[in-house]
């Protein structure tokens, strides 16, 4: 059975409060954190991008079992913030990490679900010639300055090494649900994405998340009560809780992987960071439900079941999600503005 061999996460240490962003633009700041359900967000430094975040996350994935990167036969990198429009992110990361050259390397883009799409695609490649594969979700989330999206768009990366032996969590099943729903977009000539405001909720996020989730629950004949934990894509602090409630999952099932309130929404890394935070505290033989979401629009839903080897992994994992969340440095908006100016040469 295909499953997770190891995983790693990287969260930049810089944090800023949404109220500071709102205040910098002369907008109402009181109560904005509570309204969004986001109290701090992670901010990439001026010398960090989707590549550097992904490399750090993958190095953290290699450490617990001293995994040899030369064993990896394929890599996908899901991101909405690839540094180059024409030049693959995957080969850059592979070169930095010292992966072998007889390698399938692919960049993926499907808004915030590009990382989970990589897990699905690579799961079908694991076999005799590709014993181990690497799926990454990494984003320095983009947002137009002064847009409400700037208050939630965060930065982080998550890397998952997949294989068929010595797994810490098996993939029992998965499925996808997609439609042409233009709720979030950026044309090639534009610097920042646009979105449909309140229309990004009911006809897009909830339609696809509940659609994918119900299909998988029916397919596997499982109920929400059969799962110890659940993780949903976290664009803000309210949507995943509402989706969970509609599907019959509890706040307690969501709690371990509910990272959005502390780091914001790192797009392609969002649900994968939530899964990692859940695996950090899960026990063997527990089921975890995961459903990602990507604008445009679609969702990937998964059923994972942890194995006894997870306990050994947890003993050797010194870069847990919570330890990185706590390792932080608060900044003001002047540094964020400096990063924007440097990146976009404004």
**Helical packing angle, 114-123 and 270-279, nearest 10°:** 70
Pairwise CA distance, residues 47 & 37, whole Å? 28
For this structure, is 80 an active site residue? yes
Q: Catalytic residue, from 33, 233, 291, 319: name it.
A: 233
Joined together, the tokens standing for residue 95 give 């070169």
Q: 19-44 burial by CB neighbour count: b if 16+ within 10 A, else e?
A: bbbbbbeeeebeebbeebbbbbbbbb
In the annotation, is 195 catalytic? no
The DSSP string of 199-240 is GGIIIIIIHHHHHHHHHHHHHHT--GGG-SEEEE--SSSSHH
Is position 233 annotated as part of the catalytic site?
A: yes
Q: Which two tokens stand for residue 37?
A: 């359900």
- The one catalytic residue in 33, 56, 80, 150 is 80
Residue with tokens 């984003």: 139
Selected catalytic residue, list 48, 82, 112, 319: 112
Compute the distance between CA of residue 126 and CA of residue 293 in angstroms, rounded to an integer.
Answer: 25
Residues that are catalytic: 80, 112, 233
């Amino acid at each position: 059975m295909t499953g997770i061999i190891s995983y790693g996460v990287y969260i930049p240490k810089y944090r800023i409060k949404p109220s500071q962003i709102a205040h910098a633009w002369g907008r109402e700041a009181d109560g904005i954190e509570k309204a969004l359900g986001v109290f701090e967000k992670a901010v990439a430094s001026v010398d960090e991008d989707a590549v550097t975040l992904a490399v750090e996350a993958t190095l953290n994935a290699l450490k617990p079992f001293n995994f040899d990167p030369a064993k990896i036969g394929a890599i996908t990198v899901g991101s909405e913030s690839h540094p180059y429009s024409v030049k693959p992110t995957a080969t850059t990361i592979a070169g930095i990490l010292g992966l072998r050259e007889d390698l399938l390397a692919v960049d993926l883009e499907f808004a915030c679900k590009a990382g989970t799409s990589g897990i699905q695609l690579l799961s079908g490649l694991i076999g005799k010639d590709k014993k181990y594969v690497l799926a990454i979700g990494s984003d320095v989330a983009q947002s137009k300055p002064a847009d409400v999206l700037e208050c939630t768009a965060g930065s982080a990366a998550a890397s998952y090494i997949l294989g068929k032996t010595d797994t810490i969590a098996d993939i029992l099943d998965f499925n996808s649900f997609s439609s042409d729903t233009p709720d979030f977009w950026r044309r090639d000539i534009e610097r920042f994405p646009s979105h449909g405001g309140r229309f990004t909720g009911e006809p897009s996020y909830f339609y696809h998340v509940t659609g994918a989730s119900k299909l998988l629950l029916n397919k596997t004949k499982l109920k929400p009560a059969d799962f110890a934990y659940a993780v949903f894509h976290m664009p803000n602090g309210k949507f995943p809780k509402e989706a969970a409630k509609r599907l019959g999952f509890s706040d307690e099932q969501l709690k371990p992987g509910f990272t959005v309130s502390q780091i914001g929404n790192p797009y392609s890394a969002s649900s994968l960071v939530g899964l990692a935070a859940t695996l950090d505290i899960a026990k063997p033989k527990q089921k975890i439900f995961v459903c990602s979401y990507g604008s445009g629009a679609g969702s990937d839903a998964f059923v994972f079941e942890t194995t006894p080897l997870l306990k050994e992994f947890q003993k050797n994992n010194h870069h847990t999600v919570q330890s990185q969340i706590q390792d932080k440095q608060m900044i003001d908006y002047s540094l964020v503005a400096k990063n924007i100016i440097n990146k976009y040469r404004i």
